[in-house]
Amino acid sequence: GRQLSVSGKHQITPELREVGMVFQDYALFPHMNVEKNITFGISTQPKSEQQARVKELLSLIGLEGIEKKYPHQLSGGEQQRVALARALAPSPKLLLLDEPFSSLDKNHRNQLVSQVRSILKKAQVTSILVTHDEDEANALADKVGTIQNKKLTIK
């Protein structure tokens, strides 16, 4: 594969790092509809490419037809999937997920973990999930690492 890290001699600006991020609170822009949230990271691309990417990602996350809705009109699970689509829009090589399921109730959380795993597999993106929920980690990950006493152990 490709190298994602570089030595201290090189600096890569954030927009060129090819790393996506899904935050714990999703961090959707409340003044932007779903389409504009998803295209935020690809706004320099031609409009036709942006529209095609939105359509592709909404299909991938199973939310076709909601592009004109605003975040406050979406359920927590829908917001989570839109945040995932926004992070995937620029086709990152690495996706970081910071406790993306923590604000959801247990029933929705279990269902969404399964959906997100499927979405990430289809998108073929390497992902790192930060969570305190062992069941969630085991359900989503191919490999699980735990940090204890400053030591990383891979299971």
Give backbone dihedrals phi and psi of 143, rounded to 5 degrees, phi first.
Answer: -130, 140
Res. 16: pLDDT tops 90: no
- Mean pLDDT for the stretch of residues 45-57: 97
Domain ranges of the chain: 14-154
Cα-only R_g, the chain: 16
- Choose among 89, 80, 91: nearest CA to 126: 91
Look at residues 70, 137, 145, 138 and name the one whose alpha carbon lies nearest to residue 97: 137
Task: Please answer whether residues 73 and 32 qualify as being in contact, where contact means their C-beta atoms are separated by less than 8 angstroms.
Answer: no
| 6: pLDDT strictly greater than 60 | no
pLDDT 10s digits, 80-99 = 999 999 999 999 999 999 99
Give the CATH number of domain 14-154; options: 3.30.565.10, 3.20.20.70, 3.30.470.20, 3.40.50.300: 3.40.50.300
What is the residue type of 24? Answer: Q
- Give the pTM: 0.86
Confidence band for 4, pLDDT divided at 50, 70 and 90? low
- The per-residue pLDDT for range 101-117, each reduced to its tens digit, is 888 888 888 888 988 89
